[in-house]
Structure 1
Amino acid sequence: MRHTRRTVIKGMGTAGVTVGLAGCIVSDDSTGNGNGNGSDGGSSTQLWHTLAEGEADLLETYIAQFEEETDHDIAAEEVSELNEQLNTSLPVGEGPDIFTHAHDWVGPFEDRGWLYDVSDDLTIDIDETYTDTALEAATWQDGVYGLPYAAETVGLLYNRDLVDSPPETLDEMVEVMEDHHDPDDGQYGVAYPLADPYFASAWIHAFGGYLYDDEADELGHELDETIEGVELLVDSFWPYAAADPSYESQIAVFNDGNAPFVIVGPWEVSGFRDSGIDVGIARLPTVDGGDPSPYTGVQLWYFTQELEDGEALATSREFAEWYTTTDNVILSNADELGYIPVHADLSESDELSDEVAAFAENVSIGEVMPTSPKMERVWEPTRDALERILNGEEEARPAFEQAAEEIRAAWEENDL
């Protein structure tokens, strides 16, 4: 359903960092080399990711340090179209032992029997180790299917060469967008992938609306509050954006210096800076009668069913515990990549940069993405409805009512 939304968090700096083992936990039941039953049939524990270049370089540094200290062997592989590859490989026993992605795959992947519950294998007390939000994201129906290492959400990024200080209210933001919007000259008021429900969620939630409430097991598409949020998107943002609402097109507008604002996550910051944009990061602006509340995700190291019969469990478990509990890894990820820590002892550390703190503030006002398998069927019909609305083909209410019908039909068809 989504693109690089969190398959990647691009780095905020270079990857030249030394990683130590202070604070890590390595148990005595190590099996030495992983001898996993990964996709290439070799002896290494197989790790899949879709990280950007800076992230991948830093991960390789961490893995090398982990291997040197533990004598384990991990083969990391960058995999494009991760969701598609996992859907193809895991059902036939040819997937990775461990992979990284946002927490919203826990419910649907566990429902298909693709994940391994590591509850009985852990050597750390997860209740004491991670924040409540992170722990909620990593568990599903009393099982633990991954260990969390970072939170993420979108924020308001602005070009300091075009904006002196970020707006605190949406009205202030609209004034700046109007001043800069000149599409005939290739200039726009904002870059914003509005057709993606993940990015649109802040305003869909702003007045009390929602897409899916997994606790109540209810859709929110037909609520007046949801429609009000969608109409705000159409009225306040869409007039100032480029005509193509796709992620790639919108990001390119800001990356080329042609908009004062972009609403996106930390994974794009380093790329913008590499392009010469002086990027500032701020909290999403408030709006009369409500407050934006973006979907937030928690990055996990997932454990797959490959571990059930293989010999890579110790390696996978030890690496995930080490990666998510080692101070140097957590703080280096925050400093170099803009990752928002979810370790209970470091989530509010004084060592975090102003940039990470700014994204953390957006996390604090956000809503954790539902984990239920039902949520997987919500994204596409909602995206299609947003596209029809933005294209002027349909008003918000009938478009979202149709989306609700499609979602309920998909739930029934898939016995959800």
Structure 2
Amino acid sequence: MTMNRRSILKGIGGTAAATTLAGCIGGLFTGDDPEVLWHEFQDAEAEDFNDFLAEFNEETGHDLGSNSVNEMEEQLETALPAGEGPVGFTWAHDWIGLYHDEGYLYDATDDIDLNLEDTYSEAAAEAVQWEGNVYGLPYAAETVTLMYNREMVEEPPETIDEMEEIMEDYHDPDGEGTYGLAYPPTDVYFMSAYLQAFDGLLFDEEADELGVDSDAVIEGGEFIEQSLYPYTPAASDNEAHEATFGDGNAPFTINGPWMTGEYADLDLGVAPLPLPDGGEPTPLTGIPLWYFTTEGEEADEGTLESVVEFAEWYTTNDDVITTNADNGMIPVHNDHVGSDELGETVGAFSETVDMGVPMPADAKMDSVWAPMEDALDQLFSGSESAADAFETAADEIRDSWD
């Protein structure tokens, strides 16, 4: 399967692994220890995670190890069918339908010692379940939102019109090498807020209807083409846009909480997404969770139990929840949801999450990402109009469903 969302999370941080990666063969982390957790946290998040994993092991007497995995999707698709994957891994909730269909996930309904609905928000409790099975435990909610450099922007814009005025002031790629906005133009997850800003949905999971060629989503594409894309670097890869903002060469970026630690050297501000005229940003939102895999059924006795125990601990531990919130990850534990003590950053992300819709977890959504990425590339390169590009994508997606 192919998708480009959150491709920002591809790097392995130098301090990210809690265990050495001696089991890496041809890019696949195999290893001999079945008690392994896989993650793709970046440096700042990885350091926090490693500290918490060490704390859990010390408290419980377990010896769980972890691997920081580059290209999580590709590694899982190779390792799990071969019986060499992790017992637990972390990612957003939207893989749950597809991985259920592929037989990769373990139903932990009878292993979990807490009540989902009493412990987590309604959306989070629903996100970890599929067809009556519980395939993981949630620890946050996330989406992308507006980030700004306070040295360049005094007050964050509330509307796109206000934002355009500021972008105009700074956009000088041929002279100063600066841009108005760092915003990866073909990343569908990042672009979803404005693609869906005019009452459209890329895929309506409840109605089982594709919407990428609807008038509303086409209007969203045209809006991005006219109002946002002209201020961005031409590069399509996320890393180039990271660097543009991180080096102080753009007043704005649109990115997720996983990047707040990476921008620690900036005077970083975080704000809700600005409103377009006649619309409202509707980003795709995610519920990060610890998934349980069928590797646990074949692991040494007690391994699955210790991984489930870790997931329960991690998703309910106050220090974990507040530390993740400091990184902009919105709490989903009922004792912390809506807390006024979690700071400006998580408050801004929370407002944007409230604007959005959960990423569809239906396996059909997996066929949407790549055609829409190609459609955005065609649109922003000037090769096709939004209507033509999105209609071509829709035909390809529907053909893949048949």
- TM-score, normalization: structure 1? 0.89
* Shift of residue 9, structure 1, vs aligned partner: 12
> Which string of whole-angstrom CA distances, capped at 9 and with x for unpartnered residues, describes residues 227-269 of structure 1?
1011000000011111223211222111111111111112112
Aligned match of 1:215: 206
Aligned match of 1:57: 47
| Structure 1 residue matching 2:53: 3-state secondary structure | helix
* Shift of residue 10, structure 1, vs aligned partner: 12
Structure 1 residues 140, 8: CA separation in 2 closer, same or farther (over 3 Å shift)? farther
Q: Structure 1 vs Structure 2: percent identity of aligned residues?
A: 51
Aligned match of 2:24: none
Contact 1:204 1:228 in 2 (8 A): yes
Aligned length: 383
* Shift of residue 143, structure 1, vs aligned partner: 1.2
Aligned match of 2:130: 140
2:323 is the counterpart of 1:321: no
Aligned match of 2:173: 183
Q: Distance in 2 between matches of 1:332 and 1:253?
A: 27
Match of 1:170 among 155, 160, 164: 160
Q: Distance in 2 between matches of 1:7 and 1:190?
A: 20
Q: Distance in 1 between matches of 2:141 and 2:390?
A: 29
Aligned match of 2:370: 380
Structure 1 residues 213, 292: CA separation in 2 closer, same or farther (over 3 Å shift)? same
Match of 1:363 among 353, 358, 367: 353
Q: Distance in 2 between matches of 1:63 and 1:250?
A: 32
> Which string of whole-angstrom CA distances, capped at 9 and with x for unpartnered residues, describes residues 31-84 of structure 1?
xxxxxxx94333x51111111122222112111111111111201111111111
Aligned match of 2:259: 268
Aligned match of 1:255: 246
Q: Distance in 2 between matches of 1:207 and 1:166?
A: 22
Q: Distance in 1 between matches of 2:137 and 2:325?
A: 17
Aligned match of 1:110: 100
| Structure 1 residue matching 2:146: 3-state secondary structure | strand
The letter of the residue matching 1:199 is F
Unpaired stretches in structure 1, ≥5 consecutive residues: 16-37
* Shift of residue 8, structure 1, vs aligned partner: 8.0
Structure 1 residues 10, 362: CA separation in 2 closer, same or farther (over 3 Å shift)? farther
> Which string of whole-angstrom CA distances, capped at 9 and with x for unpartnered residues, describes residues 343-370 of structure 1?
1110112320111111111111111100
The letter of the residue matching 1:314 is E
Q: Distance in 2 between matches of 1:10 and 1:360?
A: 28
Aligned match of 2:19: none
2:196 is the counterpart of 1:205: yes
Q: Distance in 1 between matches of 2:396 and 2:157?
A: 38
Match of 1:293 among 243, 265, 282: 282
* Shift of residue 338, structure 1, vs aligned partner: 2.5
* Shift of residue 308, structure 1, vs aligned partner: 2.1
2:339 is the counterpart of 1:352: no
**CA RMSD of superposed structures (Å):** 1.9
The letter of the residue matching 1:73 is D
Q: Distance in 1 between matches of 2:11 and 2:291?
A: 17
Aligned match of 1:35: none
The letter of the residue matching 1:285 is P
| Structure 1 residue matching 2:391: 3-state secondary structure | helix
Match of 2:187 among 189, 196, 207: 196
Unpaired stretches in structure 2, ≥5 consecutive residues: 17-28
Q: Distance in 2 between matches of 1:328 and 1:273?
A: 21
Match of 1:69 among 45, 53, 59: 59
> Which string of whole-angstrom CA distances, capped at 9 and with x for unpartnered residues, describes residues 302-352 of structure 1?
0001112333121011000011011122112222x2221111110112320
Contact 2:11 2:70 in 1 (8 A): no
Structure 1 residues 5, 340: CA separation in 2 closer, same or farther (over 3 Å shift)? farther
